[in-house]
Structure 1
């Protein structure tokens, strides 16, 4: 599916340039007051007319050797295609969106409701939020409609000639975009938030006959566009699998239980009728397509969070947690300290993105030993924009891609997007990356699928990430493969189906070369009655099922899985399988163990326990997993022994053991305790004792850590008992540091607020405190802060509050000569400053609290700061710590500190930043005498920044004097001070202020204002109501060139704040610069790297690149399409252009170059930048100026 990585608010509106010049706030700015953005939403979708673009794109495709491509369909037959599925008849079902960005919203364009969005826990919450913020405009969200389109090539000429709207009506406010579709034997499933849909039958108009929601509750928030439901695939176990991004889910089951995973993306599975829905893997950000390999292993590509991490290939396993939480996207502590990054949760230490992309001598990601053990590492870091994914089935595509995965990388432009092929190889209980190479280049594809005839159908979204009203389907194939008898045989079997074939033929087909045929034979045997069961039993044990040893093995696996399908209804069907746990083939043993667990075949517990000592980690993994499902208490000793042997070396094997112990502990599957009374009866008492003993007393760190991870999964009160043991007994044991760290994470991350007191129990007094910037210390400090108020848990007295505030203040004073403790000090002071502020989200995870936090009196923090003030402000303390202390008392509104602040301002020996912070604090308080005293001292200071700061504060003590000083400043030589003076003038009442502002606009018109101060004059003037000021400003704006060039914006070229621009580049939620560009080692390579950009281009070029990216597309990123007068089409990257000719080629190494004479060109379509022209909408003028300043600093 398409990874919508660039937002496009109002990108389709042509705003007059003068509007940008007058308006301070950008339309749709993250800071705007609210309301639904004004798109032209229509019921009838806009679809582009037919053109030659698809043909031109076809000619520039970078194809593998020996393969060809045809244009199978193009606009206006389809538009904005997100996903596709090819059924056994070769019919193509396409998921199409027309709501993207306009009716299906992206929270980056609606930041005024970010906190509400993060707090949503149901689809109903999201709808209520829309009604709250949009009022009567809410109805506009239900105008546009999305579809599932059916397309066919009925005359078999290689092009689609029939199209219908197979399913429609997806235009409700709760609907997301159609992002997943799967077609098989007359049934079509579709993932469209908030439903998993099933359609059956097709009438003569090409429409679905029946439509049914199989489950509801997906998409509890808007989040980021594209983080939808994806990945529909049928597993070899006959179940339906699909994914969702961190728009998350809260699904009500028929039995009253809920599957509630509201903080991350996940992979789900259910039976084909929607029953037995379960979540199998979570902690994902935006997993898209899913793919099974020949051994039934499931994989997905997950997307990065756009700040120094990279995308990941995830091995999807039962109970797996990859560690992402939606709050990480908007982290309270900033993106540098968000655990996702600082604790390396995203990182693979086996394979870097460089290795995946084929870079020679790729770097290896360094393991700093800080990754939480609760989260499974990815198989590999991979390229940007992973979306569509498939695994070779055995007969199609091309022999050069046998046993390869094909993964679409959607990066916003043809130049950088591609489909990449890779292999995997087993590594312990998991996998590692093997070979990687290109499959298809110069294609912006969200999805692909393998047709029955062996060809690959590939979607083309067209250039850019926004809606294009265009779309194509290319058919990529190897002619020799299409003509191969085995391929033709596969096509015949798939088209005809299996329902009329004999049992003996079906058994033979279990070992067919194509996985699709094997699966259909497996399913047919599973539902063939007693004869089918017997056939499956014999096939599972038959090592000679095929002359080809590999296919014989695969046939046996399908027989085992077929028995598993029936075993889920009656486990006795699998009674023959335990004997195969002794089979010589390790993969047979592994899959037998897996199936025996799936069907809950209790009699296999003994044989499975023996397999814990198998010589193959995969067998050990599935044996442990199965024993947990069987709740086999007799296997606990063996599981613990396996944990010891593993000794934390294989994270996946440890995970299987954790899931085993967890399964044995929990009496009922899927049971989540909701009260202490229920909790006491929900868990096996003997197991609880074993876990407690293991956690407290084990001298094996691996055992203690594994049991800690089990405890983390035992929710609420039972988890509290486990964690208490961990903390009280392990606090002083260095060997158990990992146990303590995992406990700290569990308490502060898992909404376990009733466990916070455990930090106090573990604290041995402030005298024991040692500064260490690690997970334990930072979370301990946070627990003290949270314990100031645990409303809804238990109320604590003021004495306790003062004690905790005192601890924090003591940390801020601890050994001032130890710089490694500065971050601890800064955290402690931050918490003290926020002591009286109700919290809405967890500082580490960014997740919303599920209960209210009452405001607290500031007294505890204020008194603690007073008591330790001298130590905190000691000259040995770092300046940043002392500034943070001032910020804390300022936030607490502790004006009793006014004399101390005034003293700091007057002290010329103090650092300038400290004096400035103290002066600004005084400006917030009502102590006029202290403020006046400080202003006088600051004005006499030799520090220009301190003098400038007084300009804003003067009006508070003497308005008339302020105007006089401002006028004097405007007539002076200090450019920075003049800019500040203009800003302050804009806040003063009419009268002299208006006269001074009009005078400055006159200077602007006369060209007498330096470029660095132009914007301040414009911003100040446009906020005034004075008619003369307005007229003069309008005169100036109308004098500017009304062109798409930097000349129209001279006031944005100079005067920006480089530091502020850097922050915008790396952190601005809507601008998302580093999502596509790289500076140093941070960012992405979707767009050109920007190191040294200012040495190549002037500021005018940089500004135009930001505002009008299509004006000048960077070399290597411009794609051009031309049609000559004789009807020929050419397309590709512009390699060279002169006055008489243009040279084009595909963006692949050694691609042939087409030279076209300009005199022969009939039409030329200019290349389109992948960067949308949205910066005028998402950044203020000041932010634009700051961004240009930062870019200009990149030498």
Structure 2
């Protein structure tokens, strides 16, 4: 037990090296385990294991349980079924419980529930009673349920908890006073079930599904209405708001147990649904309570209701509650409260709170999104003003600028939540008008990322006030900004593009030169590109090869051919091999040279076509592919620096220990060499026995096998008649999901990870 719920006890390796997906008790004894961990091993042994003790299987208790389950409960008397509610095996108790609930034997179950001789029998009886009251509408149940009210005062906490649950399921209004007392029970589990039961009373009140006893006069009126079709007014029940008791529970120190707090929220939510407009005025004590726990319960109730009253917590003194209110408004969402959330952007630093706080950061992110989604000119102005504030963290300023850039064409997915919440296209003018006055100062900002975001926003909103050519020529500007300016000139087909390209091609910034080369495209200077292949950096040489591959004409053919000749001669830098081969593959005139290259491969060398990917990759890009590419999902099965899965071997430092060729082989031919401890085998012994598992270690005479059925085994090789090797857990076709450039990046990442 752990508060109102449970927690997992000590975890022990009970049996073998398994990855269970399900566990079930077997009627014959023991347990059945379905195993995923061995799912890649084609051992024909199946994936369901039975773990049992033959001596226990033969015991009287197991045999009796087997017989009872096989015979079923249909032909048993209610007396026997009542006795079986206290059986040692839960499966038998459940079957008896179901049978008694189906028989609708309320009186027998009531007696068992009150009998303290067997706790399991009492709890199963109460659960069976819950089933009866949930599925039966006969009027006699009111009196029968009222007879169970003393169970709410039982000394057994679980009996109290389940009895409270029973009263909620049956929606017995006569139980409300007893349930109210249980709100302060010593057990958080009882408190939880009492609050949830009281919530069910309000649900029944709202839906007309409650049970209550009428007075004599009202009872006669109801009967006359039914018999004679009259419409006389019948007095209804009343429900007490347990607000004070709820506050008392939530004021407990330390903070109320999470499940109990959740139950309080659920009860408040249901009270609000029943009371309607009367709810908020009657809960002012919650809204102004000194306890953040009490205020939070009301806030979360408003969230569940989608009630814009949640915006009142945006000015709460506790920043955690302010964030929780922002979450409710933005994440649910509650659009009626967007204006109040968006208004946070105009607050001063002292009013917002600690701008370095993560809580404030995520509150303001939601305020930015609310402004964007409202979409009025005043909201665009608020975004621009916020972006211009130097007292605000740069990531938030950048986000404000990104939202302005998306103003005319909002993406279908919500900017913050990533959920499909489309907005219609909007007029660009409000965003352009508010960005224009602050653009110059933003482009002078000391933070290069703010500068870049401001330029991109101006470009997206088609502002002409920016001197794009001047930015390209200004060597004091960040390289990223100059590249963006050059791209913008090309996109706008600006008359100054030619001069800007000349400037960029002669600049000291490699990134700018490479972008200029790319933008030249079919108009590129073959002579200059060929010169880059001789004296440029590695990145520029790759860029030049890509540009040459796209150029028409014999001069480009000749330039690529010279590089391919270097490849054939073995003098080409290994980091450029893949780039030259791919460039040649786009030149029809070089098909003969490509065929000459391919002819050098040995027929049995499966790695030969992939060896050009051994060097020259981008380790950062390789890391991204390793972790994020869901098609190959490397990270699910392998660890790097302590993070990742356990299905395959840990790859930390593998490149340093084994070399790049081993890494390539492991991806292209995963079954060629299987790492020690991960090779699966099926052994047939000379005596006929079979053992399947992972080879943990091996010598000339012995083999240590980790079998999911038999655990760690040491076997003499002389006793093995046949050895059938299983396949690697890594599929052979994995390499087909990668381009050779991606393969090169992954190898670079693995080879350089220490």
The TM-score, its normalising length taken from structure 1, stands at 0.56
- Name the counterpart of 2:63: 488
- Cα pair 1:429 1:617 within 8 Å, conserved: yes
- Name the counterpart of 1:971: 534
- Cα pair 1:695 1:726 within 8 Å, conserved: no
- Cα pair 1:507 1:536 within 8 Å, conserved: yes
Structure 1 residue 1094: Cα displacement? 2.5
Structure 1 residue 1189: Cα displacement? 1.1
| Local SS of the residue matching 1:1131 | strand
| Local SS of the residue matching 2:717 | strand
- Name the counterpart of 1:848: 420
Structure 1 residue 520: Cα displacement? 1.6
- Of 765, 774, 778, which aligns to 2:358? 774
- Of 464, 473, 479, which aligns to 1:906? 473
- Name the counterpart of 1:748: 330
- Name the counterpart of 1:1007: 570
- Of 281, 286, 297, which aligns to 1:706? 297
* C-alpha spacing 1:1126/1:824, structure 2 compared with 1 (3 Å): same
**Deviations 1:433-458 (CA, angstroms, capped at 9, x unpaired):** 32211233234543332222223233
1:943 matches 2:516: no
- Name the counterpart of 2:608: 1047
- Cα pair 1:1041 1:1048 within 8 Å, conserved: no
The whole-number CA distance in structure 2 between the counterparts of 1:882 and 1:1083 is 37
Aligned ranges for residues 830-845 of structure 1 at < 5 Å? Answer: 830-845=402-417
The whole-number CA distance in structure 2 between the counterparts of 1:784 and 1:446 is 43
The whole-number CA distance in structure 1 between the counterparts of 2:606 and 2:703 is 25
| Local SS of the residue matching 1:927 | coil
- Of 596, 607, 610, which aligns to 2:181? 610
- Cα pair 2:241 2:271 within 8 Å, conserved: no
> Higher strand fraction: Structure 1 or Structure 2?
1
Structure 1 residue 936: Cα displacement? 3.0
The whole-number CA distance in structure 1 between the counterparts of 2:531 and 2:152 is 91
The whole-number CA distance in structure 2 between the counterparts of 1:1114 and 1:883 is 47
| Local SS of the residue matching 2:550 | coil
- Name the counterpart of 2:549: 986
> Higher helix fraction: Structure 1 or Structure 2?
2
Structure 1 residue 1031: Cα displacement? 4.0
* C-alpha spacing 1:838/1:1041, structure 2 compared with 1 (3 Å): farther
- Name the counterpart of 1:1163: 722
**Deviations 1:774-817 (CA, angstroms, capped at 9, x unpaired):** 35544544544454455xxxxx6xxx33x33333333333226x
Structure 1 residue 702: Cα displacement? 1.2
* C-alpha spacing 1:577/1:1005, structure 2 compared with 1 (3 Å): farther
* C-alpha spacing 1:1142/1:646, structure 2 compared with 1 (3 Å): same
- Cα pair 1:887 1:921 within 8 Å, conserved: no
The whole-number CA distance in structure 2 between the counterparts of 1:710 and 1:699 is 18
Structure 1 residue 953: Cα displacement? 2.1
- Cα pair 1:895 1:925 within 8 Å, conserved: no
- Name the counterpart of 1:543: 116
- Of 260, 264, 267, which aligns to 1:653? 260
| Local SS of the residue matching 1:457 | strand
**Deviations 1:207-264 (CA, angstroms, capped at 9, x unpaired):** xxxxxxxxxxxxxxxxxxxxxxxxxxxxxxxxxxxxxxxxxxxxxxxxxxxxxxxxxx
- Cα pair 1:647 1:701 within 8 Å, conserved: no
- Cα pair 1:593 1:608 within 8 Å, conserved: yes
**Deviations 1:96-144 (CA, angstroms, capped at 9, x unpaired):** xxxxxxxxxxxxxxxxxxxxxxxxxxxxxxxxxxxxxxxxxxxxxxxxx
* C-alpha spacing 1:806/1:963, structure 2 compared with 1 (3 Å): farther
1:479 matches 2:47: no
**Deviations 1:25-76 (CA, angstroms, capped at 9, x unpaired):** xxxxxxxxxxxxxxxxxxxxxxxxxxxxxxxxxxxxxxxxxxxxxxxxxxxx
- Name the counterpart of 2:206: none
Structure 1 residue 634: Cα displacement? 2.9
- Name the counterpart of 2:455: 886
| Local SS of the residue matching 1:441 | coil
**Deviations 1:370-400 (CA, angstroms, capped at 9, x unpaired):** xxxxxxxxxxxxxxxxxxxxxxxxxxxxxxx
| Local SS of the residue matching 2:395 | helix
Aligned ranges for residues 558-957 of structure 1 at < 5 Å? Answer: 558-568=124-134, 569-570=136-137, 571-572=141-142, 573-631=144-202, 632-645=239-252, 648-667=255-274, 684-691=276-283, 693-694=284-285, 696-715=287-306, 719-720=307-308, 722-727=309-314, 731=315, 733-735=316-318, 737-765=319-347, 771-772=355-356, 774-785=358-369, 787-788=371-372, 800-801=376-377, 803-815=378-390, 821-849=393-421, 852-874=422-444, 876-877=446-447, 879-890=448-459, 892=460, 894=462, 896=464, 899=467, 901-929=468-496, 931-955=497-521
Which of structures 1 and 2 has the larger relative contact order (alpha carbons within 8 angstroms, sep 6+)?
1
Structure 1 residue 1016: Cα displacement? 1.8
Aligned ranges for residues 488-507 of structure 1 at < 5 Å? Answer: 488-507=63-82
* C-alpha spacing 1:445/1:702, structure 2 compared with 1 (3 Å): closer
- Name the counterpart of 1:430: 5
| Local SS of the residue matching 2:730 | coil
Structure 1 residue 591: Cα displacement? 0.5
Aligned ranges for residues 201-212 of structure 1 at < 5 Å? Answer: none
The whole-number CA distance in structure 2 between the counterparts of 1:905 and 1:458 is 66
- Cα pair 1:564 1:574 within 8 Å, conserved: no
1:1084 matches 2:654: no
* C-alpha spacing 1:981/1:651, structure 2 compared with 1 (3 Å): same
* C-alpha spacing 1:1062/1:826, structure 2 compared with 1 (3 Å): farther
- Cα pair 2:287 2:295 within 8 Å, conserved: yes
The whole-number CA distance in structure 2 between the counterparts of 1:1010 and 1:1048 is 17
- Cα pair 1:1130 1:1154 within 8 Å, conserved: no
**Deviations 1:130-178 (CA, angstroms, capped at 9, x unpaired):** xxxxxxxxxxxxxxxxxxxxxxxxxxxxxxxxxxxxxxxxxxxxxxxxx
**Deviations 1:442-481 (CA, angstroms, capped at 9, x unpaired):** 3454333222222323335684469999844332211222
* C-alpha spacing 1:786/1:921, structure 2 compared with 1 (3 Å): farther
- Cα pair 2:165 2:194 within 8 Å, conserved: yes
- Cα pair 2:168 2:197 within 8 Å, conserved: yes
- Cα pair 1:462 1:470 within 8 Å, conserved: no
* C-alpha spacing 1:838/1:812, structure 2 compared with 1 (3 Å): closer
The whole-number CA distance in structure 2 between the counterparts of 1:470 and 1:925 is 66
The whole-number CA distance in structure 1 between the counterparts of 2:621 and 2:298 is 46
- Cα pair 1:457 1:474 within 8 Å, conserved: yes
- Of 654, 657, 661, which aligns to 1:1096? 657
The whole-number CA distance in structure 2 between the counterparts of 1:454 and 1:599 is 38
**Deviations 1:276-317 (CA, angstroms, capped at 9, x unpaired):** xxxxxxxxxxxxxxxxxxxxxxxxxxxxxxxxxxxxxxxxxx
The whole-number CA distance in structure 2 between the counterparts of 1:1036 and 1:773 is 60
* C-alpha spacing 1:520/1:761, structure 2 compared with 1 (3 Å): same
Structure 1 residue 517: Cα displacement? 1.1
The whole-number CA distance in structure 2 between the counterparts of 1:1003 and 1:464 is 48
The whole-number CA distance in structure 2 between the counterparts of 1:468 and 1:659 is 52
| Local SS of the residue matching 1:448 | strand
- Name the counterpart of 2:223: none
The whole-number CA distance in structure 2 between the counterparts of 1:615 and 1:555 is 24
The whole-number CA distance in structure 2 between the counterparts of 1:888 and 1:1056 is 33
* C-alpha spacing 1:867/1:1113, structure 2 compared with 1 (3 Å): farther
- Cα pair 1:745 1:775 within 8 Å, conserved: no
| Local SS of the residue matching 2:15 | strand
**Deviations 1:484-503 (CA, angstroms, capped at 9, x unpaired):** 21111111111112223233
Unaligned stretches of 5+ residues in structure 1: 1-425, 545-551, 668-682, 791-795
1:527 matches 2:80: no
Structure 1 residue 561: Cα displacement? 0.7
Larger radius of gyration: 2
